[in-house]
């Protein structure tokens, strides 16, 4: 008996049980076959739980929030001193720590590292990330990369030769509304909780939760702490990352489709950043009235084309209605966004538009979304615990930077206790050159260049040439282990 036949039989059995409950006074009872069908479904849920739970992890984080108090006028301080009262603002904390809990699941083990998918909001801005496995062992985690646009993050823990279980990733595009799903996570800190329900809807967007939304909606119970945990089909394959709930509502949970998460994970592992296609247009959904005026049944309206963008070079104009992308119908704004960002930059695509009542096919070479590498860059610098900004002519003049320094990066923040702090880097330093050895030292003019050097260094450390107070010093930056 295949799965669909089993589900049909269980559904029929449940209906019969309901009828028998209502008609119990008439002597109607469930048969052994009825119980057998229900027990078969129960065993499916038990099997999924036993298969997936060992690869689900508990994630706990610590974040530091700093306060910047406004300057207090001297006369205000004098007022308190007149009456011999301690100035109250002197005791105000400059920072405090927050803690949070979430979930994740192990997707890959390579070279002694276990890679874990979770939500970006679970680990965002965290200074410490700890991962607890199902066997109770605890590890310090590192951020591989994160993507706030889809709320997906990839972290890793050093497990060495230890054998740890991994999940099987499914195909979120093939799931159907009404299918049974199982959610596993740590709601309210209650570790490894299993709930089940169905796929209530697909392609949910416009919720205002993420910049890019294509959620799976489910009525499987999802609560705070479930974030980052897996949503599985009845075969134990992960088809989504549990992400959000609607406050004050029951049965409304949302998960990021695993196909979206897989692309982000693969990009982070291969390129160190998320690569997305880009057209450079402002678009909006069309109402039935506008659709009638333009003579179309579906599509999106182009309201503005960015100057110098791939769309402008390809001939797209404001007022065009995009109805097909590479031959596939365009349903709405989210549909087009997903089609474009999943296209590899540099690829040429056919875009069909309706212009002046006539269809027109344009060939557009897809570009790379500006800022695609920003997230991975921030993660790389976060690993060392510092932040930088490029030096422009105005800033150089203000800081008195010598004219012989053509590039350079101003250190704007150094986290206490971080590798950068341990190396002696300070706020106000100017990083002039970076390299793996003295011979490979090269000028750095952008944060991207510095991040690339840090990435290549691995665990060997990076040599940086620094300008401080008019003098030159050399430091070695080692990543935190």
Q: Which residues are designated catalytic?
A: 121, 151, 227
**What is the number of other CB atoms lying within 10 angstroms of the CB of residue 315?**
15
For residue 409 the two structure tokens come to 């990066």
Residues in a beta bridge with 114: 109, 157
| CA angle centred on 174, ends 173 and 177, rounded to 5° | 95
Which among 407, 411, 383, 381 has a CA at the least distance from the CA of 396? 407
Which among 379, 384, 437, 428 has a CA at the least distance from the CA of 408? 428
Tokens 């904390």 belong to: 93
Contacts for 5 with CB less than 8 Å, ≥ 6 apart: none
Contacts of 88-92 spanning 24+ positions with Cβ under 8 A: 92/67
CA distance 78 to 108: 62
Q: How many CA atoms lie within 13 A of 84 on its CB side?
A: 0
**What is the number of other CB atoms lying within 10 angstroms of the CB of residue 375?**
20
DSSP letters, 168-225, are EE--GGG--TT-EEEEEE-GGG--SEEEEEEEEEEEE--SSS-SS--EEEE-S---TT
For residue 2 the two structure tokens come to 């295949």
Which CA distances in Å does 314 have to 13, 342, 372?
58, 19, 21
Q: Are the C-beta atoms of 302 and 282 separated by less than 8 Å? A: yes
Q: Are the C-beta atoms of 396 and 404 separated by less than 8 Å? A: no
Which among 411, 418, 456 has a CA at the least distance from the CA of 437? 456
Displacement of CA 300 from its chain's centroid (Å): 26
For residue 182 the two structure tokens come to 């199982």
Contacts for 90 with CB less than 8 Å, ≥ 6 apart: none
For residue 370 the two structure tokens come to 């500006």
DSSP state of 434: E
């Amino acid at each position: 008996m295949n799965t669909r036949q089993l589900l049909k039989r269980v559904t029929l059995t449940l209906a019969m049980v309901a009828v028998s409950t209502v008609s119990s006074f008439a002597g109607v009872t469930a048969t052994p076959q009825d119980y057998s069908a229900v027990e078969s479904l129960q065993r499916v849920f038990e099997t999924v739980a036993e298969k997936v739970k060992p690869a689900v992890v508990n994630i706990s984080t610590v974040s530091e929030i700093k306060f910047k108090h406004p300057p207090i006028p001297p006369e205000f301080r004098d007022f308190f001193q007149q009456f011999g009262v301690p100035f109250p603002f002197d005791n105000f904390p400059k920072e405090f720590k927050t803690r949070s809990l979430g979930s994740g699941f192990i997707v890959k083990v390579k070279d002694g590292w276990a890679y874990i998918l979770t939500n970006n909001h679970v680990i965002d801005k965290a200074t410490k990330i700890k991962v607890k496995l199902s066997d109770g062992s605890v590890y310090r985690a590192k951020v591989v990369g994160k993507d706030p646009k889809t709320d997906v993050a990839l972290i890793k823990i050093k497990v060495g030769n230890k054998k740890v279980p991994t999940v099987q990733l499914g195909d979120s595009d093939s799931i159907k509304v009404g299918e049974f799903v199982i959610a596993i996570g740590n709601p309210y800190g209650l570790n490894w909780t299993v709930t089940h329900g169905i796929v209530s809807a697909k392609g949910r967007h416009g919720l205002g939760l993420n910049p890019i939304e294509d959620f799976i909606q489910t009525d499987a119970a999802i609560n705070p702490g479930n974030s980052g945990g897996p949503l599985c089909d009845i075969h134990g394959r992960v088809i989504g990352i549990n992400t959000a709930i609607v406050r004050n509502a029951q049965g409304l949970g949302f998960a990021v489709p695993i196909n979206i998460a897989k692309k982000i994970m693969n990009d982070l592992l291969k390129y160190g950043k998320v690569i997305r296609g880009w057209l450079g247009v402002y678009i909006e959904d069309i109402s039935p009235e506008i659709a009638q005026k333009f003579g179309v049944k579906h599509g999106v309206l182009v309201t503005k084309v960015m100057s110098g963008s791939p769309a402008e070079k390809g001939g797209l104009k404001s007022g065009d209605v995009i109805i097909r992308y590479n031959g596939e119908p365009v349903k709405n704004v989210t549909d087009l966004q997903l089609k474009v960002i999943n296209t590899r930059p540099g690829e040429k695509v056919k875009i069909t538009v309706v212009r002046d009542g006539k269809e027109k096919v344009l060939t557009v070479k897809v570009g790379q979304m500006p800022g695609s590498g920003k997230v991975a860059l921030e993660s790389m610098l976060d690993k060392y615990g510092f932040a930088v900004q490029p030096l422009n002519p105005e800033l150089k003049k203000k800081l008195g930077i010598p004219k012989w320094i053509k590039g350079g990066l101003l250190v704007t923040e150094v986290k206490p206790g971080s590798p950068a702090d341990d190396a002696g880097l300070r706020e106000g330093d100017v990083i002039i050159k970076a390299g793996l050895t003295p011979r490979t030292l090269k000028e750095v003019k952008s944060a991207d260049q510095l991040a690339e050097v840090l990435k290549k260094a691995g665990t060997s450390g990076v040599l940086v040439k620094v300008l401080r107070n008019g003098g030159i010093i050399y430091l070695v930056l080692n990543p935190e282990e």
